[in-house]
Amino acid sequence: MNRAITLSAEETAILDWVDTRADGMIATVKDWAAINTGSRNADGLEVMRARLTEAFAELEARIEPVELPSSQTVTNDGEIVDVDYTPALKISQRPDAPIRIVLTGHSDTVFAADHPFQNWQMLDEDTLNGPGVADMKGGLLVMLHALLALERSPWASAIGYDVLISPDEEIGSLGSGPILAELGKRADIGMTYEPALADGSLAGARKGSGNFSLRVKGKAAHAGREHHLGRNAIVAAAAFAEKIDRLNGERPAVTINVSRIDGGGAPNVVPDIGVVRFNVRVGDEEDAAWVKAELARAVADTNQREGIFADLHGGFTRPPKPMSPSNLRMFEWTREAGRPIGLDIQWKDTGGVCEGNNLWASGCPNVDTLGVRGADIHSSREIAKLSSFAEKTKLSAIMLMKFAKGEFNAREARALARSL
């Protein structure tokens, strides 16, 4: 599909309006970058939600907080505890419109409240360095202004949309996942605002991902007097970690990353608790089934050790997102929308995951890197290219207007997804 689309006078005028908002977007992202919104910083996330509520009020849509269910985690000493989340923010417009779109983003970053990376600086006239400027406070501003552009158009009434801005994407969307699934089931298509690469390339097919914790219980004993009576949970945990690490390379698209072993204490005590934490990436559902079987075998082997009990927690929370025909159609439309404004949109497969995986799992075809051009995310070198704020807003605005006019058939993409 290589159609050359054209822009009407009304569409061109709306894109000209986007240019008038560029300086405001840049000023706002600097302000937002100075608010720490690490995933566990509830106070900062609440401040950010208030700022987002104020900003998205310009849409004159329904805005409401959405309480998220808690999840569970394994503590360093092997206890299972509940994890609570601050509310997400939902913005809804025209629920009875014939075309339904879900747009998603997140307010949290990977930078904790005590992380040294807390504010922004200009590296050159087009490069802003700061926490979350690309991932994804910049993306939220692109989303907002694309919707504002749609609202200025004469075709807005054809589209109803739900926006979900979650506070937990960087830690797996365990709280917001059920809400994403619900919204994805109701939508024809999805648009997510993770950053594009610095050259403008988008993420294509994505692997699936799961976070796991193996809890190992042994028996404590004095390391000198009664070492023989102890059962070392750390040694058993390390043996499990080595076993699953050897699975790397067995299937081309599977990676297992052992990230941490917790437990133990004083060197004169045989440790009775060990917790192995690891991440798994898979290319498809067959990979996931294979990994589950191998993990079950490794857990069973660990439990064969005398005096040791092990159980596995966690699982796959983001299924793979393949380049299915419906997702490919979304990317082709994105490429077509870019041409009138001089963009040559490319995409490449990635091992990374995001809310686009969640939407696809609910049957919703989507493009998930519609945010600003950026680089070095999840590090203190994170940057956003300032010229991309208006550029990427125009891209999404064109897509939204073409969906509203029927020139891009959102229902066609959904029908393709349902036919799988």
Whether 337 and 350 share a structural domain? yes
pLDDT, averaged across the chain: 96
Average pLDDT over residues 199-209: 94
Asked whether residue 46 is domain-assigned, the answer is yes
CATH of residue 292's domain is 3.30.70.360
Whether 296 and 412 share a structural domain? no
Whether 62 and 189 share a structural domain? yes
User: Where does the pLDDT of residue 4 fall: very low under 50, low under 70, confident under 90, or very high at 90 and above?
Assistant: confident
Percent of the chain exceeding pLDDT 70 equals: 99
Whether 199 and 309 share a structural domain? no
Amino acid at 31: D
Whether 24 and 159 share a structural domain? yes
The domain boundary, picked from 259, 285, 318, lies at 318
Whether 105 and 186 share a structural domain? yes
Digit-coded pLDDT (tens) for 363-412: 999 999 999 999 999 999 999 999 999 999 999 999 999 999 999 999 99
Whether 116 and 215 share a structural domain? no
Integer-rounded Cα Rg, in Å, for the chain is: 23
Whether 146 and 235 share a structural domain? no
pLDDT at 198: 81
Asked whether residue 4 is domain-assigned, the answer is no
Asked whether residue 47 is domain-assigned, the answer is yes
Whether 174 and 222 share a structural domain? no
The domain boundary, picked from 318, 340, 357, lies at 318
Q: What is the domain range of residue 285?
A: 208-318
Q: What is the DSSP string of 386-417?
A: THHHHHHHHHHHHHHHHHHHTSS-HHHHHHHH
Whether 48 and 151 share a structural domain? yes
In the chain, what is the greatest distance between 2 CA atoms, to the nearest angstrom? 87
Digit-coded pLDDT (tens) for 230-270: 999 999 999 999 999 999 999 999 999 999 999 999 999 99
- Separation of alpha carbons 76 and 17, rounded Å: 53
Whether 243 and 390 share a structural domain? no
Split into its structural domains, the chain has a count of: 2
Whether 20 and 151 share a structural domain? yes
**Residue 420 reports pLDDT greater than 80:** no
- Separation of alpha carbons 3 and 373, rounded Å: 25
Using CB atoms within 10 Å of the CB of residue 309, give its burial: 0 to 12 exposed, 13 to 18 middle, 19+ buried: middle
- Separation of alpha carbons 93 and 392, rounded Å: 22
CATH of residue 61's domain is 3.40.630.10
Q: How far apart are the first and last CA of the chain?
A: 20
Asked whether residue 1 is domain-assigned, the answer is no
- Separation of alpha carbons 361 and 417, rounded Å: 10
- Separation of alpha carbons 84 and 67, rounded Å: 10
The domain boundary, picked from 299, 318, 337, lies at 318
Asked whether residue 2 is domain-assigned, the answer is no
Average pLDDT over residues 187-216: 95
Digit-coded pLDDT (tens) for 121-160: 999 999 999 999 999 999 999 999 999 999 999 999 999 9
Write out the H or E segment, with its range, that includes residue 211: strand 208-217
User: Residues, the chain, total?
Assistant: 420
Digit-coded pLDDT (tens) for 304-346: 999 999 999 999 999 999 999 999 999 999 999 999 999 999 9
**Contact of 131 with 170, CB cutoff 8 Å:** no
